[in-house]
A = this chain, B = another copy of it.
Amino acid sequence: MNFLEEKILSDGIVKEGNILKVDSFLNHQIDIELMRQIGQEFQRRFEGERITKILTIEASGIAIASVAAMYFNVPVLFAKKTQSVNVDGDKYSAEAFSFTHKCTNKVFVSKKYLSPDDRVLIIDDFLALGSALIALTDIVEQAGATIVGIGIAVEKGFQDGGDIMRKKGYRLESIAIVDQMDAASGTVKFREQ
């Protein structure tokens, strides 16, 4: 079992409705030592890939992406969910359905910050139905940049997002893949990797 699987077993909470609560260390309170380990693990898995930029989506992806970026020494770019005076000018946009918030968001990236020369690593904390990743990969492709791979902390393997991304041919690296969860017993079963 790896460090993230151990953390999920010790501090994650399984709730009815296939909800895995990791808000004590991943998406509300953030365990910084765990972020370091996740960053180092992505660096190990994507070593030699000449990544030029890390792309994520607000909000909880920003913590993982920022700490990982310290190991890759590249800028982070985060897609925004709202139009803002902070990001004007030409933008790439794509639609993403949020499983967490039960609504569709349009997400934006300024055209200035992605170019065909970029080799992009997409990072996010969670992968379930994959709609955030579909939006992010769409945006990178609109820019004509290269998607080197996708780094995910926790993938819900019993939902479709991972399969969709792998079938599209992306190199998807999830540090922990949850294949089964049971709220009654609180058990979590991970995929062998």
Contact = CB atoms under 8 A, between A and B. Distances in A.
Contact of A67 (B66, B85, B87, B101): B66
B82 A101 contact: yes
Given A62-B63, A66-B66, A76 B113 contact: no
A32 to B, nearest CB: 4
Interface of A: 17, 19, 21, 23-24, 27-33, 35-36, 58-60, 62-63, 66-67, 69-70, 73-78, 80, 82, 84-88, 100-101, 109-110, 112-113
Contacts of A73: 32-33
A59 B30 contact: no
B67 A28 contact: no
A101 B101 CA distance: 19
Contacts of A67: 66-67, 70
